[in-house]
């Protein structure tokens, strides 16, 4: 079936539809990872987005029952150069097209994904529509005009992927309250594997309810959208800072920066992929990191008692921060990977060490 991607600037990409049939809108972004498409599809941070994979062949190893980062795909659409119909891998349980169809996700294949990526890099992320409907395919200009009117951010993004109820993952180690803004499962797997006694709560939970769970540490998860769209979390963090050790990742990093008095801004086209170089400013060591975000912390806005600890070597943006006196730190990238390199998993050990040191005080 013929399908189109119509961008808000009037650019039209026409190719072959696969997966589900229909129409869907979203923010059009690109991911530079060579593998890990199942993790990308199910990463809650992609809520509200149509994801383009820059690697030319997607689906060749199928999808399985172990590698999902949430219960279902979170993307609104999926764009590839070539979709493999016959995967070959001993772990595969399903082909990409059938998986997308089952979860009502529209796919588009056969377009020049290099041209689409260059357009996003040159002009920034754009609103767009994916459609297989004949009335849209035959009138793409009208669909592009409709895309220009879309509103894609808002508090509903986080609420659509975060837990609505508190749940426990018992462990023999320190109790950590996890503020869930759309958490990836590998974060929970890692902390549970280290013995943490986890209480997972909605990201907008007030500080008094967090403290009522008697945590020895507080963790802020990744999630979709603009950090300023979850003001309740910013208020809650202001009340928690200095009272418990805190570790934040991705959206959690941005929310923590806002709570400390800093500011955030939208990047031109974001960082999405498993090959982003980040430098630890204290040691000079460079880590290859997994990333997925469209906003960044403004370094100049941070108060004097907050130190920038890591920088992105591609564009110099803030990738980590730490308070000079209080037990808290955060990173913009994903130390739990999934997909991506495992270079930065030591940060979870640092968080547990911080909790231990505070318990000894």
Residues with active-site annotation: 250, 334, 336
Calculated CA dihedral for residues 175, 176, 182, 186, nearest 10 degrees: -80
- Helical segments of 180-286, H only: 185-193, 207-212, 231-240, 251-259
Report how far apart the first and last C-alpha atoms of the chain are (Å, whole number): 65
Cβ count within 10 A of residue 162: 24
d(Cα 356, Cα 185) in Å, to the nearest integer? 24
DSSP state of 144: H
Tell me, what DSSP letter sits at residue 333?
A: S
- Tally of CB atoms within 10 A around 349: 10
201 touches 232 (CB < 8 A): no
**Cα-flanking dihedrals φ and ψ of residue 103, to 5°?**
-100, 15
Residues 6+ apart with CB under 8 A from 293: 45, 222, 250, 251, 254, 267, 270, 271, 272, 332
CA 199 and chain centroid, separation: 21
Question: Phi and psi for 351 in degrees, rounded to 5?
Answer: -65, -45
**127 CA to centre of own chain:** 18
Tokens found for residue 98: 């059938």
Q: CA of 175: how far to CAs of 169, 281, 352, in Å?
A: 10, 31, 10
The helix-helix angle for 251-259 and 231-240 (nearest 10°) equals: 60
Output the furthest CA–CA distance in the chain (Å, rounded).
69
């Amino acid at each position: 079936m013929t399908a189109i991607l119509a961008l808000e600037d009037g650019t039209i990409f026409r190719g072959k539809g696969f997966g589900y049939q229909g129409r869907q809108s979203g923010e059009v972004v690109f991911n530079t990872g060579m593998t890990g498409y199942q993790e990308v599809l199910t990463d809650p941070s992609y809520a509200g987005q149509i994801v383009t994979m820059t690697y030319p062949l997607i689906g060749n190893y199928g999808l399985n029952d172990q590698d999902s980062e949430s219960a279902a795909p979170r993307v609104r659409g999926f764009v590839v150069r070539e979709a493999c119909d016959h995967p070959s891998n001993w772990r595969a349980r399903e082909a990409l097209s059938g998986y997308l169809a089952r979860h009502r996700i529209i796919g588009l294949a056969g377009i020049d994904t290099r041209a689409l990526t260059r357009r996003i890099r040159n002009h920034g992320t754009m609103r767009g529509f994916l459609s297989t409907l004949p009335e849209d395919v035959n009138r793409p200009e009208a669909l592009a005009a409709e895309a220009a009117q879309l509103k894609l951010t808002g508090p509903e993004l986080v609420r659509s992927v975060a837990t609505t109820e508190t749940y426990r993952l018992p462990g023999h180690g320190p109790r950590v309250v996890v503020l869930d803004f759309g958490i990836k499962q590998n974060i929970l797997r890692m902390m549970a594997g280290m013995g943490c006694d986890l209480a997972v709560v909605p990201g907008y939970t007030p500080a008094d309810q967090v403290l009522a769970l008697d945590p020895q540490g507080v963790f802020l998860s990744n999630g979709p959208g603009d950090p300023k769209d979850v003001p309740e979390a910013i208020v809650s963090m202001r009340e928690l800072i200095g009272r418990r050790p805190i570790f934040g990742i991705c959206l959690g990093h941005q929310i923590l920066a806002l709570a400390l008095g800093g500011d955030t801004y939208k990047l031109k086209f974001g960082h999405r992929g498993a090959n982003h170089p980040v430098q630890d400013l204290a040691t000079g060591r460079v880590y290859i990191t997994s990333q997925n975000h469209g906003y960044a912390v403004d370094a100049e806005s941070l108060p004097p008692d907050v130190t920038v600890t890591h920088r992105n070597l591609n564009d110099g943006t803030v990738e980590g921060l730490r308070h000079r006196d209080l037990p808290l730190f955060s990173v913009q990238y994903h130390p739990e990977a999934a997909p991506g390199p495992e270079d930065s998993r030591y940060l979870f050990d640092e968080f547990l060490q911080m909790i231990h040191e505070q318990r000894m005080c």
